[in-house]
Amino acid sequence: MTMNTFTCVLVIVCAVKLHLASLQSNLVPCAEHCKCLYPTRDTPTQYMDCINQSLTYFPKETKLKTTVPTYIFFIDNNLTVVNSATFRNISRLRVVFLRLRNNGIKNISRDAFNTLRFLQHLDLSYNSINLQQLRSSFRSIRSISFQNLNMSHMSIEAIPENMFESFENLSAVNISLAFNHLTLFNTKVIETVPGLKFLNLAWNKLTNLSMWANFSSNMKRLKLDNNYLYDVPNFCKNNSLSFFPELVILNLQFNFMRTIIPEHYSCLSQLRRFYLNGNLFQTLKTNMFAGLHSIVRITLSETFALRKIEKAPFNNTSLKKVFFRKNALYTEMHRGHLNIFEGCTSMELLNMADNIFDKTSEAQFDELFKPLGNLTILIMGGCRLTQIPRAVTKYLRNLQELVLYNNRIGSWPDGTLNSLVYLHTVYMRQNVISLVSELSFPPGFRRRAKKVDLSDNAFQCTCELKWFIHWMKKEPQVFNVTDFHQYYKCMSPSSVHGVDLAHIILSKNICMLDLNSKIITLTCSTLLVVFVVVGSVLYHLRWHLRYLIYMMRYNNRHEVDTGHYEYDAFIAYGQNDRPWVIKTLMPILEGQGQLKLCIHDRDFEVGKLIVDNIVDCIDNSRCLVIILSNSFAESGWCQFELALIQRYILENGNRPLVVVMLEEINTRHVTKAMRAMLQTTTYLLWGEEDYARKAFFNRLRLLLHRPTHKARTRTNSV
């Protein structure tokens, strides 16, 4: 029997389950309390479903074809006794599959299956049948194509030695005794079944297998998982010959084995799959599996008692797949070296998910991955990784699938994946990735990509992510999503928190504007920093600067201003003070005093920027007059004019400044600039009495009179 044929036999029961489940909606009522599926061109088999109907017999159905393979599901009924008459109503059918699960069967006749000439699969699970009667009934199974016998969940405590002697002429048969109460299994029970290919003894209470010296079986698969085995059974005769020389699959997982002795299984020269999950091994020794010359797959996961791993326990050039999950493997426990897979030059798949690698050094990763140059699939989900180990891209050049879900990876340097020229699948869901650079996935990878999963990450939905969103929308089959909302959401900025990536609008114009905004922000930030630094320096040198300015102004006081000006005085005033300026100030100074004043309501150039008007008028005025009032203090433009005037005087110290206090200023309106001006400049007070007004204008005209060449001195401020 070829391996492919054997595989088909093993999975046929599961296939029937799945197929029946998919056909439930197509079943139609047929015989009494049953449903049927009749054969069609697409389904060349037929089904009769009599489940949970409290039936005590098989109803007759005349529409089922007599020449078509028939599957009968007679489950959860009340059959109690089975004999040849039990199957009279279905004897005309070509029954190949018969499930009698949980029917309360206690007695069965020796001729029970005489009429079922084509029977291939028989399920007697969840019945408590007398084993001696059952052994006799097997003689009535005459089909040489019989393949599967299910005797699980039958509360069996011991199997008679000659239980299956009726199957001695079958070329390939599979027997399940799972979920019973067996404490010991003697191999003499199966010695009479040379065609036995699969024996399932899982979920019993076995503590050992009893194998006698002359025993030998052609069995391909043996399941001993979930028993009470404390040691690996000895499958070898004299350390070289095997009791099971054809064994391909051995399942010993979830027992209580504390030690693993290579001499007990190294004779299994045909063994390809070895399942050891969930045992209590404390130490993995060097070359534990070196004697298994055909081994392809080893699963050694969930060994939570593991405390020590010696050098190269998996050393075997035939080994292609290793599942080493949930072993509490962490660097601190294995101080120093991590050369676990030394000698595994043919390994193609390594699953090390749910171990602890957050403190593993790059040197240790080098030891771990250096021997695995032919690895094509690496699975390290849930390993607390904060970055993609450099050893992955350094040594695993043939990698095709990289699985790093549920870690703490936030990003990886641009170009990291460039060396993985065969990589086509990346699973990195449930990490802390916020931004994905366009160089994170090189163009070659994007052309090859078959599957990319970055779901459940903390995406920052800015323009840097625009290319990634475009890629997802362009190739949804790569991301295996037709609806983004369940998997890909924005976490920041706060304005789009929880929004689907598919609904984020990041157009070229928006992103260009965003880029310009960043440039402007950066420029303004730079200038602000420069201003802060310069301001800080000036603040610390303020007294030196004040002394310098004072000395310059003192020296200039004796100079005669002989410049030519368009105006005698520039008048700065608030809008509410305009009537006073027009009706009181201008008639006296321009009418009687024959001075030319610069009044912004009259003299500012139309169409010119206000700032330019102010600067030009100040520059063309011989004196500067500020009409100080609450209106002036509250006006933003007036404060701006004041700042320009103060700066102009600071830069051109020879220009006279006259301050007129029109009214008492409310202290809450006094700015720092105004306070500094009032503290350093003498001002004229406006009064309402006649003598006060006359004295006011006399002093003001004196301050604003045009100088002559005979003038010797001048005062810059009043």
Higher local confidence (pLDDT), 418 or 690: 418
Mean of pLDDT over the chain: 86
H-state helical runs in 291-358: none
pLDDT of residue 13: 46
Asked if pLDDT for residue 346 goes beyond 60, the answer is yes
**What's the pLDDT at 238?**
81
Confidence of residue 712 (pLDDT cuts 50, 70, 90): very low
Q: Check whether 683 has a pLDDT greater than 80.
A: no
Task: Average the pLDDT over each of 71-80, 458-467, 635-644 and give the range with the smallest value.
Answer: 635-644
Given a cut of 80, whether residue 549 has pLDDT beyond it is: no
Query: What's residue 699's pLDDT?
Result: 82
Q: Is 496 helix (H, G, I), strand (E, B) or coil?
A: helix
The residue-averaged pLDDT of 406-434 equals 95
Q: How much is the pLDDT for 111? A: 95
Residue 24 binned pLDDT confidence (cut-offs 50, 70, 90): low
If pLDDT is split at 50, 70 and 90, which confidence band does 608 have?
A: confident
- Cα separation, 69 vs 524, in Å, equals 83
Which range is least confidently modeled, 26-40, 44-58, 171-185? 26-40
What top-level class would CATH report for the domain 1-150?
alpha beta
110-124, 405-419, 452-466, 689-703, range with the lowest pLDDT: 689-703
Q: What is the mean pLDDT of residues 448-458?
A: 94
Most confident of 154-168, 324-338, 629-643, 688-702: 154-168
C-alpha to C-alpha distance for 105 and 98, rounded to whole angstroms = 14
Q: What is the mean pLDDT of residues 262-270?
A: 95
Confidence of residue 516 (pLDDT cuts 50, 70, 90): low
pLDDT of residue 524: 82
**pLDDT higher than threshold 50 for residue 562:** yes
> Please, which residues bridge with residue 196 across strands?
173
Cα torsion 165, 169, 174, 180 to 10°: value is: -10
pLDDT surpassing 90 at residue 509: no
Quick one: pLDDT at residue 514?
A: 52
Distant-in-sequence contacts of 48-53, Cβ < 8 A, 24+ apart: 48/72, 48/73, 48/90, 49/20, 49/73, 50/74, 50/75, 50/77, 51/75, 51/76, 52/76, 52/77, 53/77
The Cα–Cα gap between 539 and 632 comes to: 28
On the 0-12 / 13-18 / 19+ scale of CB atoms within 10 A, 588 is: middle
Most confident region among 373-387, 642-656, 679-693, 704-718 by mean pLDDT? 373-387
Give the integer Cα–Cα distance in Å for 367 and 598.
Answer: 87
Q: What's the token pair of residue 661?
A: 């206090």
718 and 658 Cβ atoms separated by less than 8 Å: yes
The CA-atom distances, in angstroms, between 210 and each of 93, 190, 236, 534 are 42, 12, 12, 93
Q: Which of 73-77, 326-330, 672-676 has the highest mean pLDDT?
A: 73-77
Within 10 angstroms of residue 364's Cβ, the number of other Cβ atoms is 20
Whether 551 shows a pLDDT value over 50: the answer reads no
- The model's confidence at residue 711, banded by pLDDT at 50, 70 and 90, is very low
- Please give the average per-residue pLDDT across 416-422, as a whole number: 95
Provide the pLDDT for residue 574: 87
Q: Enter the DSSP assignment of 242.
A: E
pLDDT-derived band of residue 557, with 50, 70 and 90 as boundaries? Answer: very low
Tokens (6 digits) for 524 = 């303004």
Name the DSSP letter for residue 189.
H
Question: Looking at residue 135, what is its pLDDT?
Answer: 96
Give CA–CA dist 42/298, Å, rounded: 40
- The DSSP result for 553-621, as a single string, is HHHHTTS------SEEEEEE--GGGHHHIIIIIHIIIIIIS---EE-HHHHSPTTS-HHHHHHHHHHTE
pLDDT in the model for residue 3: 41
Using the predicted structure, report yes or no on whether residue 6 has a pLDDT greater than 70. no
Residue 17: band (very low, low, confident or very high) from pLDDT cuts 50, 70, 90: low
Residue type, 265: Y
Confidence of residue 293 (pLDDT cuts 50, 70, 90): very high
Name which residue leads in pLDDT, 54 or 716: 54
The string of pLDDT tens digits covering residues 106-122 is 999 999 999 999 999 99
Burial call 465-474: b when 16+ CB within 10 Å, e when fewer: bbebbebbee
Cα 678 to Cα 425, 626, 718, distances in angstroms? 76, 11, 10
The residues spanned by each domain of the chain are 1-150, 508-540, 566-704
Least confident of 92-96, 349-353, 568-572, 695-699: 695-699
Of 646, 704, 635, the residue nearest 673 (C-alpha): 646
Per-residue CA distances from 275 to 254, 262, 473, 710 (Å):
9, 14, 42, 116
Q: 566-704: same fold as 1-150?
A: no
Q: Looking at the domain covering 566-704, what would its CATH class be?
A: alpha beta
Banded pLDDT at 718 (limits 50, 70, 90): very low
pLDDT of residue 717: 38
